[in-house]
Structure 1
Amino acid sequence: MSQTDCPTQRPTAPAERLWTRDLVLIILVNLCVFTNHIMSLSTFPYYIQSLGGTEAVAGICAAFFALVAVVVRPFVGWWLDNGARRVVLILGLLLLGLAPLGYVAVPALSISIGLRMVHGAGLSLSNSTTATVASDVINKRRFAEGMGYFGMATALASAIAPALGLTLMEGLGFTALYGAAAGIAALALVLFAFVRAPRPRVERKRLSLKGLVNKDSLPASCTMLVFMLTFGALENFVAIYATNEGLPSGSLYFVIMAVMLLLVRVFLGKLVDEKGEAVFVYTGNAAMIAALLLLALVPNTVTFCVSAALAGYAFGGLEPALQSMAVHTSTDETRGSANSTFLCGYDIGYGLGGGIAGVLITAVGYSAMWAAVSLACVASVALYVAWARHSDTSFSKLLAERRP
Structure 2
Amino acid sequence: MGKSEKEMEVEVTPDKLFNKGFIGITCINFVVYLVYYLLMVIIAVIAQEQLHATLGQAGLASGIYIIGTLFARLLMGKKLESYGRKAVLRYGSMFYLVTTIAYLYVPSMGSLYLVRLLNGFGYGTVSTATNAIVTAYIPKSRNGEGINYYGLSTSLAAAIGPFIGMILLNTTNFYFIICFSIVLITATTIASFIFPVKNIVLSSAHKKIADSWAWESFIEKKVLFITFIAFLMGLAYSSVLAFLSSYAQVIHLVSASSFFFVVYALVITLTRPLSGRIFDAYGENYVMYPSYICLTIGLLLLSVTSSSWVLLVSGAFIGLGYGTFMSNGQAICLKKCDGHQIGVALSTYFIGLDLGLGVGPYLLGELRTILSFQGVYRIASLLPIACILLYALFYQSNEPLPQLQPKGEN
Q: Establish whether residue 337 from structure 1 lines up as the match of residue 336 from structure 2.
A: no
2: CA distance between counterparts of 1:233 and 1:394?
32
8 Å CA contact 1:329, 1:393 repeated in 2: no
Deviation of 1:102 after TM superposition, in Å, equals: 1.7
How many residue pairs were aligned? 389
**Residue aligning to 2:97:** 97
Q: Establish whether residue 272 from structure 1 lines up as the match of residue 279 from structure 2.
A: yes
**Residue aligning to 1:129:** 129
**Residue aligning to 1:79:** 79
Matches within 5 A, 1:1-400: 14-49=13-48, 50-82=50-82, 84-203=84-203, 204=207, 205-210=210-215, 211-247=217-253, 248-390=255-397, 394=401, 396=403
Please give the secondary structure, in 1, of the residue aligned with 2:200.
coil
1: CA distance between counterparts of 2:273 and 2:375?
35
8 Å CA contact 1:77, 1:336 repeated in 2: yes
Higher mean Cα deviation, 22-31 or 316-325? 316-325
- Residues 254-291 of structure 1 deviation map (CA, whole Å, 9 limit, x = unaligned): 11111111212133321111121112221111111111
8 Å CA contact 2:95, 2:122 repeated in 1: yes
Please give the secondary structure, in 2, of the residue aligned with 1:374.
helix
Alignment CA distance shift 1:47-1:395 (3 Å)? farther
Where structure 2 has 5 or more consecutive residues not aligned to the other structure, the ranges are 1-11
AA aligned opposite 2:245: A
Higher mean Cα deviation, 335-344 or 240-249? 240-249
AA aligned opposite 1:346: L
Deviation of 1:344 after TM superposition, in Å, equals: 0.4
1: CA distance between counterparts of 2:176 and 2:370?
34
Please give the secondary structure, in 2, of the residue aligned with 1:151.
helix
AA aligned opposite 2:278: L
2: CA distance between counterparts of 1:125 and 1:394?
30
8 Å CA contact 2:235, 2:359 repeated in 1: yes
TM-score (norm 1): 0.91
Question: What RMSD over aligned residues (CA atoms) do the two structures have, in Å?
Answer: 2.1
8 Å CA contact 1:28, 1:191 repeated in 2: no
Alignment CA distance shift 1:331-1:155 (3 Å)? closer
8 Å CA contact 2:233, 2:322 repeated in 1: no
Deviation of 1:376 after TM superposition, in Å, equals: 0.7
TM-score (norm 2): 0.89
1: CA distance between counterparts of 2:186 and 2:395?
39
2: CA distance between counterparts of 1:213 and 1:229?
20
AA aligned opposite 1:15: P
Deviation of 1:301 after TM superposition, in Å, equals: 1.1
- Residues 135-154 of structure 1 deviation map (CA, whole Å, 9 limit, x = unaligned): 12211110110000101112
8 Å CA contact 2:72, 2:122 repeated in 1: no
Deviation of 1:79 after TM superposition, in Å, equals: 1.0
8 Å CA contact 2:239, 2:361 repeated in 1: yes
Please give the secondary structure, in 1, of the residue aligned with 2:259.
helix
Deviation of 1:83 after TM superposition, in Å, equals: 5.9
Please give the secondary structure, in 2, of the residue aligned with 1:48.
helix
Deviation of 1:351 after TM superposition, in Å, equals: 1.4
Please give the secondary structure, in 2, of the residue aligned with 1:197.
coil
8 Å CA contact 1:83, 1:201 repeated in 2: no
